[in-house]
Amino acid sequence: MNLRPRTDITEPERKIGMRLIIGDGLAAEAMITLTGGAFLIAMALLMGANNLQIGLLSALPTFTNVFQLISIWLVRRTNNRRMVTVLCSLLARIPLLLIGAIPLLFPQTGNINFLIFFLFFFYFFGSIAGPSWNAWIKDLIPEQIMGSYFAKRSSYTQGLNVILSLAAAFGVDYIRRHYPAYELTTYYCMFIAAGVAGIAGAFILAGAPEPQSYMDKENFFKLLLRPLRDNNFLRLLIFNSAWVFALNIATPFFTVFMMQGMHLSLSVITILLMVSQLTGVFTFRMWGVFADRYSNKTILAISGPLYIFCVIGWCFVGIYSEMYANIILLVLIHIFTGIANAGINLSLTNIGLKLAPVKDAVVYLSARNIITAVFSALAPLVGGILADFFESRHIQIDATFTGPHKSKVLHLLALHQWNFLFLISAILSLISLELLLLVQEKGEVGKSIVVRIMRSSIKNNLKDYYLIGNLISWHDHFRGFLLRRKSG
């Protein structure tokens, strides 16, 4: 297998490489779908995991990003980003096979600790592969189509996620109902299938060409400090760190809340997650077009407040006595979460790539991932501790109507254990979003202009989406209200 970079990549070869990257993305998405999300949480709970261990499992993917320093060292030493990416991807995906073999390797002592142990190495090697992959792809994909290309790639991977998640969820629920003793064995088999898919994806990725590049050979630690001396990139790091910390306090516990708090089946939870995925698939291309035409920062300023609105909505889930009312609220939350996440994920990825200088891309992107990893990993652990703290605490606000013939109690708000986390997350997210105003992006267009254009575009394509135009402006109205109160 020839993994050496080249200086003479033709346009047809570049296009073939772009298709291979999509192929690897599909294989990686199958791997992630079968080993993450609701399936990993359900498996961990079945193995007896507590809130802190759930937080630890959620923290591992981001905590291991601190090891991306190794990626920088390897790329500087070899000047071969493809080799680093492919080999580390292979090493990352072998532990998935070992997790599937836990019943054979540790028949008497297999438990949650072995799951955490092997997942650490899965995320560890994956974190090393990440920066070299980002820097490689930044040179391979033309900047003018980067937004639309990744939107296309994401729409394919999210579509696969929908199909595979539904099939796996209904399969697990069937086994849970008819063969409950084999539920844990089913999860082990899913890890083996994920490992096979991941390894196949690494070999597909190896076929994509790499443009030759060279990193500066200056002092390693001075090189790492370079992104921190870039004031604009530093402001992006501050915003990104605050944002991921605020979100990850609550995000890992949405699924736990639905499983333990609302006692929903895995298939129902998966369908709700798929609703979010589908809306993300349908809106990825729209966000990508607007990001290329205007700016990623503007898209973040629109999708960020919409996501905060969804987090606030979680505080009201479960307060209704009728289950169908809670399900309707969950569906609405997942619809708008999918729309918001599509814009947030696409923009955060692209703005990091865009603000990073070409020759130092791997250093800048690694610095961003390492710094945000600390806050992103800390947040679920804090969330797990807070969930235990609020377990015996409860706030309920009711409106009571009393008449001569009938009395009615309307539940306005009920906060308990997980709902407290959701409210705290929403408040911190709202505060962190203000830091985005300090980031400057080339080609930035005013948010109000983009909102107006989006309203017109969305209304022309699907009139029902006109509601988004009003929702995405609420953050400005709220901020203006606070300023008026302060000046008054």
Dump pLDDT digits (tens) for 414-434. Answer: 677 678 888 889 899 888 888
Q: Which domains does the chain show, CATH number per domain?
A: 11-390 (1.20.1250.20)
Mean of all residue pLDDT scores within the chain:
80
Does the structure show a pLDDT above 60 at 119? yes
Q: Spell out the residues 6+ positions from residue 177 whose beta carbon is closer than 8 angstroms to its own.
A: none
Q: Mean per-residue pLDDT for 368-395?
A: 82
Does the structure show a pLDDT above 80 at 285? no
Q: Mean per-residue pLDDT for 380-405?
A: 77
Place of tokens 């991977």: 157
What's the whole-model pTM score? 0.70
Query: Helices 220-229 and 68-78 sit at what angle, rounded to 10 degrees?
Result: 120
Tokens linked to 254: 């949405």
Query: Helices 323-355 and 296-314 sit at what angle, rounded to 10 degrees?
Result: 160
CA dihedral defined by 303, 308, 309, 310, rounded to 10 degrees? 90
Other beta carbons less than 10 A from residue 173's beta carbon: 17
Place of tokens 């008819």: 178
Which of the pair, 152 or 327, is modelled with greater confidence? Answer: 327
| Among the listed residues 432, 202, 204, 116, the one whose alpha carbon sits nearest the alpha carbon of residue 304 | 432
